[in-house]
Amino acid sequence: MPMNIGNIAQKKDITMNKEEINELKLELKRLESEYKKIHPIMRGSITYMGNKNKQPYFSLSLKGKTKVIYLGDKRAKIAKKYVENYKKATELIDQMTLIHMQIFKNK
């Protein structure tokens, strides 16, 4: 069962015992396993453009420039899943980062 990551972030300067650190390490392995299953990934967003007949496009801001490609309905559904995967991946990375920080505090 996943740990409550919020509790990890709230532990300030409390020294953890070996059992608690081992629990964190097990949670890291679980999160890493979950992370490996998330693919393909696209960072960006699905936008709809057009005056009368709105059409789906994929947009990405990269190095201060926005790149846009036309998707169409079929590819929009696929791209939406890829964008959702990106969001899941970033959430997992945030959780893993908090756990690593807590482990570093206790070394």
Could you read off the pLDDT of 47-95 as tens digits, one per residue? 999 999 999 999 999 999 999 999 999 999 999 999 999 999 999 999 9
pLDDT of residue 99: 94
Question: Among residues of the chain, what percentage have pLDDT more than 90?
Answer: 76
Domain ranges of the chain: 5-9+16-105
| 67 and 52 Cβ atoms separated by less than 8 Å | no
pLDDT confidence bin for 1, thresholds 50/70/90: very low
User: How far lies 71's CA from each of 62, 78, 87, in Å?
Assistant: 19, 9, 20
Mean pLDDT of the chain: 89
The pLDDT confidence band at residue 17, using thresholds 50, 70 and 90, is confident
pLDDT confidence bin for 3, thresholds 50/70/90:
low
Query: Residue 42 has what pLDDT?
Result: 96
* Token couple for 48: 């709809």
Instruction: Quote the pTM value.
Output: 0.80
Predicted confidence (pLDDT) at residue 8 exceeds the cutoff of 70: no
Are 89 and 35 within 8 A, CB to CB? Answer: yes
